[in-house]
Amino acid sequence: MWTADERHLAVGFDFGTTNSSVAIAGADAQVKLASFPLAGIETQSFRSVLYFEQYKTSEGHKRAHSLTGPAAIEHYLQTDEKGRLVQSLKSHLSSRTLTGTEVFGRRYKLEELISRMLSDLRKHTVNQFGKQIRYAMVGRPVRFVGAETDEDQEFSVARLRAAFALAGFEHVDFEMEPVAAAYTYESTLDHDELILIGDFGGGTSDFSLLRVGPEVRRRGRKPEDLLGNSGVGLAGDAFDARIIRKLVSPALGSDSEARSLNKLLPAVPAWIYANLERWHYLSFLRTNNVREILRSARIRALEPEKIEALIAIVEEDLGYQLHQAVQELKFALSRLDNAEFRFRGAGMDLRIPVTRTKFESWIQEELAAIESAVDTLLQSSGIKPSEIDRVFLTGGSSFVPAVRQIFESRFGADRIRGGNEFTSVAHGLALRAAESLRRG
Ligand SMILES: Nc1ncnc2c1ncn2[C@@H]1O[C@H](COP(=O)(O)OP(=O)(O)OP(=O)(O)O)[C@@H](O)[C@H]1O
Ligand SMILES: [Mg+2]
């Protein structure tokens, strides 16, 4: 049996591809965010990462355990013998081929891996607020990464639901992430508006067009207040992958050739670099097969030092550090017209200047896909840009100027608002949970 308190606890849970957050709305619609310690300071977003490491018991037996969030990253960086660090798990929910993975000789289903993170977040929130949590309003993208059909979408939701059940939630409801962000924006309004929300995360870019405001709330929401949603399964992770492909992989020999029977051929097969683009796949490259390919490539390559650097990246498992360097470049280019990509390690000291224009040319395809999702939403709902009162942009990738530009060119800078980039979805989910509990 649930106590009345448990039944009425409005919990919003945003399990993000890169960052997760949890919020609780009180009876007075005041929202409190769960906070997590990170290097001595409190933060309200929890990195969605999982780290498995092996240790020896006092009897000398090898055992493995896992850590999540900031603790996972700290442990990973501190230990010499690296375990397995995994991230962006949400992006695999639609994949029927990725059922799970083996870590230190044990198989884990994807739902179990995700539930490890959800369970820690839940425990943390329970401790912080001193209340038992059995129910949550959970965010979902409009379109999951890789989902092509309605069945793929349902499959993804079912797996996410299973992960929440494994983490101890007895019941969850789902709400579209951009709709949740709209609740956060709405809480700042003193009049009704027709708004377009754009939420750009690590995995997905999601849009909703809806009417919100105090009058809408007072008269009660109607289905027609939501004019439509659209989404595309790419965002910040896809931008990072482009930086790797265009900047990092060439430094590691992706354009290099090797001599083979008087012909010049690519020194290293392209699929090896494809694994580099998603850094948490890098650990899959530490196999004898890959070692053999790289050893023989180094001997035949016209630029052996580049293959040498690739070998060192793989052997020293520097995927995380490489990815950090990529992120720093991307963040700097959100602020500046020019920045320098810097990476030291694997016998390299890379310093490569990059202009924002260059970066924007690398992500043209992604930007076009985002534009098309926005235009499709406007067309299908029959709304002209001039009818939209405000555009609210949120999520970490909304900091990318080329992403903002898509909206500035359609709606003008004056109509664009932003904010609470990493917490607006959880905050709005808590408000959404409170509303649905009030309605019973
Ligand atoms: N200043 C910045 N400039 C560019 N990108 C940024 C910046 N800050 C964060 N990001 C990117 O934002 C993304 C994370 O954003 P966010 O936390 O909103 O995603 P998420 O909610 O975890 O993902 P999703 O909503 O897709 O599940 C990462 O790809 C990160 O690199
Ligand atoms: Mg998000």
Please write the tens of the pLDDT for every residue from 431-440. 999 999 888 7
Q: Which of 404, 9, 428 is nearest to 177 (CA)?
A: 428
Sketch out the chain's domains with CATH numbers: 4-190+420-439 (3.30.420.40)
Ligand 1 atom showing the smallest separation from residue 20 Cα:
22
The angle at the Cα of 250, spanning 245 to 351, to the nearest 5 degrees, equals 100
Supply the pLDDT for residue 99.
82
> What percent of the chain stands above pLDDT 70?
98
| Average pLDDT of every residue of the chain | 93
Q: How far is the CA of 80 from the centre of ligand 1 (A)?
A: 29
DSSP SS3 for 93: coil
The angle at the Cα of 240, spanning 338 to 17, to the nearest 5 degrees, equals 130
Please list the helix, strand and coil fractions of the chain in percent, rounded to the nearest 5, in that order: 50, 25, 25
Express each pLDDT in 3-62 by its tens digit: 656 667 899 999 999 999 999 998 777 999 999 987 788 899 999 999 999 888 999 988
Supply the pLDDT for residue 6.
60
Ligand 1 atom showing the smallest separation from residue 239 Cα:
29
Q: How far is the CA of 352 from the centre of ligand 2 (A)?
A: 30
Q: What confidence category does residue 110 fall into, taking pLDDT thresholds of 50, 70 and 90?
A: very high
Which stretches of 296-347 are assigned E, i.e. beta strand? 338-345
Q: What is the DSSP letter of 301?
A: B
Q: How far is the CA of 201 from the centre of ligand 1 (A)?
A: 4
Whether 72 is in the pocket of ligand 1, judged by its Cβ within 6 Å, is: no
Compute the radius of gyration of the chain from its Cα atoms: 23
**H or E element that contains 11:** strand 10-14
Express each pLDDT in 379-403 by its tens digit: 999 999 999 999 999 999 999 999 9
In the numeric block, which tokens belong to residue 352?
A: 């490569």
Ramachandran angles phi, psi of 405, nearest 5°: -60, -35
Residue 319 near residue 282, CB atoms below 8 Å: yes
Handedness of CA 379, 91, 31, 162 (dihedral sign): positive
Whether 201 is in the pocket of ligand 1, judged by its Cβ within 6 Å, is: yes
User: Nearest C-alpha to atom 16 of ligand 1 is from which residue?
Assistant: 201
Q: How far is the CA of 340 from the centre of ligand 2 (A)?
A: 28
